[in-house]
Homo-oligomer: A and B are copies of this chain.
Amino acid sequence: MTYAYEKLHDFTFQLLCKIGCPPDQAKTASDVLLSADLRGVDSHGVARLSGYVRLWQKGRINPTPNIKITYETPSTAVVDGDGGLGLVVAPFAMKVAMEKAEKVGTGWVSVKNSNHYGIAGYHSMMALEKDMIGISLTNASPLVAPTFSQERLLGTNPISVAIPAKNQPPFVADMATTTAANGKLEILQRKGMDTPTGWVQDKTGLPTTSANGVKDGGALLPLGGDREHGSHKGYALGSVVDILSAVLSGANYGPWVPPFVAFLDPDPNPVGEGIGHFFGAMRVDAFRPADEFKSHMDNWITRFRNAKPTPGNDKVLIPGDPERELEAIRIKEGIPLLDPVVKDLTELGEKFGVKF
C-alpha cells in the first residue's frame, strides 16, 4: 500500500501543529521527516512521527523552542536548540553555517540541546543550491559498541557530505558509521532471518548473527565489524562525530546521549544538554571558481560511473544515486508504508483529531 507524499506531508504538518508547533516550524519538520521516506530511509521518516509525539508527551520535546546562537566567531557558532525538534533545530543551524560561509568562505556550527534530526542528508543538501559543500553529523542514543567494548557507548552517528556538480546530479554521501543501520536489523527480524557477520555482537560481547542481538542487550558494530576488518576505523569515525557534535557544543556525548524512545529515561546525571549535531558549509568558490569546480565534479562522477563493473553487477554507483532514483519513483508512485506503521499513524491521528 502506498501513500501520496502530499498526503503524508499534510498529515505530519497538521499533527505537529496539534502538539503546539508554530506552522512554519511544523512545515520545516514535515519537509525533513518526509524527505527520509522519499529517499528510502524509511526508519527515519513518518514511521517515527509517533515516537516524536511520545517524547513531547513526556515533556522531552519543546514545541515552541527559542533556538539561538549562544557563541560565535566569524566562521563558527554554537546553537542552543532549546529542547526543540531536531527537525527544526538542524535547518536553523545549517542556515547559520551557510551565512557564515557566505561571508568568510566556510561556516561551522555545533549544536546542543536538540533532539533527533531526521536524515543527515537533508541538512547537508541544503548547501547545494548555494554552490557550497554541506556537511552534517549528529550523535544518537548509544547502541554501538566500540572495538573491544562490551558496552554500548556510541550512537550510529551518521556522516553526510553533499557536493555540487554541474550537469551531473550532486554527490551525496549519507551513512551511519556502523556496518549496518538498526533499520536493517528490523527488516531481518520480521523475515526471521540472520544477519551477515560483522553487524552485531551479543550482550556478552561476542559476535552473533542474530537479528535480535541488539534487542537482547547486545550492540551494533562499528563499520568494519571486527578489528581484523577495520572496526577500529568505524569506531574512530563514530567518535569524531560524537565529539564534534557534543563535546564541542556542550551536549550529551557517548553513553549519556538521551534515548530516542520515550519509555527509557535520560541519564539522571547528564554531562550536557540534549543531543548534539555538527554542520559545515564551504563555498566552493572560496577555493576555485565554482564553474571550474563543478565541471571537474562532472568529470569525476562520469569517470567513476562508467568504470568497468565487477562480475554480476551492472554499474558503479555514485553516492546519492540510489536515494535520488528512489525519490523520483516515490514522488510519482507514492510512499509504501508497512501495516504496523499505518495502524500506528491511524491511531495517532484519532488521538489528535487529524484524519490519516
Given contacts A311-B206, A319-B239, contact A105 B76 (CB under 8 A): yes
Q: Which residues of A contact B (CB under 8 A)?
A: 71, 73-76, 78, 103-106, 108, 110, 133, 145-151, 153, 159, 161, 163, 171, 173, 175-180, 196-198, 201, 204-206, 223-225, 228-230, 232-237, 239-240, 242-244, 247-250, 253-255, 271-272, 282-284, 286-288, 292-293, 296-297, 299-300, 303-304, 307-311, 313-317, 319
Tell me whether A232 and B287 are in contact (CB under 8 A). Answer: no
Residues of B within 8 A of A73 (CB): 104-105, 283, 286
Instruction: Say how far A88's CB is from chain B's closest CB, in angstroms.
Output: 21
**How far, in angstroms, from A255 to B300 measured CA to CA in the complex?**
9
> Which chain B residue shows the least CB distance to A105?
B73
Residues of B within 8 A of A104 (CB): 73-75, 104
Instruction: Say how far A16's CB is from chain B's closest CB, in angstroms.
Output: 30
18 A-B residue contacts at CB 8 Å? A73-B286, A74-B103, A75-B106, A76-B106, A108-B282, A147-B317, A148-B314, A148-B316, A149-B309, A149-B316, A153-B304, A175-B233, A178-B230, A179-B229, A198-B229, A248-B284, A248-B293, A255-B303
**How far, in angstroms, from A210 to B104 measured CA to CA in the complex?**
50
Residues of B within 8 A of A234 (CB): 223
One complex includes copies of this chain to the number of 2
Residues of B within 8 A of A206 (CB): 310-311
Residues of B within 8 A of A197 (CB): 229
Instruction: Say how far A314's CB is from chain B's closest CB, in angstroms.
Output: 8
Instruction: Say how far A76's CB is from chain B's closest CB, in angstroms.
Output: 4
Tell me whether A296 and B149 are in contact (CB under 8 A). Answer: no
Instruction: Say how far A152's CB is from chain B's closest CB, in angstroms.
Output: 9
Residues of B within 8 A of A242 (CB): 300
Tell me whether A307 and B146 are in contact (CB under 8 A). Answer: yes
In addition to A76-B105, A153-B304, A175-B236, 17 A-B residue pairs with Cβ atoms within 8 Å of each other are A75-B105, A76-B283, A105-B108, A149-B309, A150-B309, A173-B239, A175-B230, A176-B233, A177-B233, A197-B229, A205-B310, A223-B233, A229-B229, A239-B304, A250-B288, A254-B300, A254-B303
Instruction: Say how far A149's CB is from chain B's closest CB, in angstroms.
Output: 4
Tell me whether B317 and A287 are in contact (CB under 8 A). Answer: no
Residues of B within 8 A of A236 (CB): 161, 173, 175, 319
Partner of A247 from the list B282, B286, B297, B309 (CB cut-off 8 Å) is: B297
Tell me whether B146 and A316 are in contact (CB under 8 A). Answer: yes
Given contacts A75-B104, A248-B284, A300-B247, contact A308 B224 (CB under 8 A): no
Return the 6 tightest CB-CB contacts between A and B, nearest first.
Answer: A205-B310, A73-B105, A173-B236, A76-B105, A74-B104, A76-B286
> Which chain B residue shows the least CB distance to A225?
B229
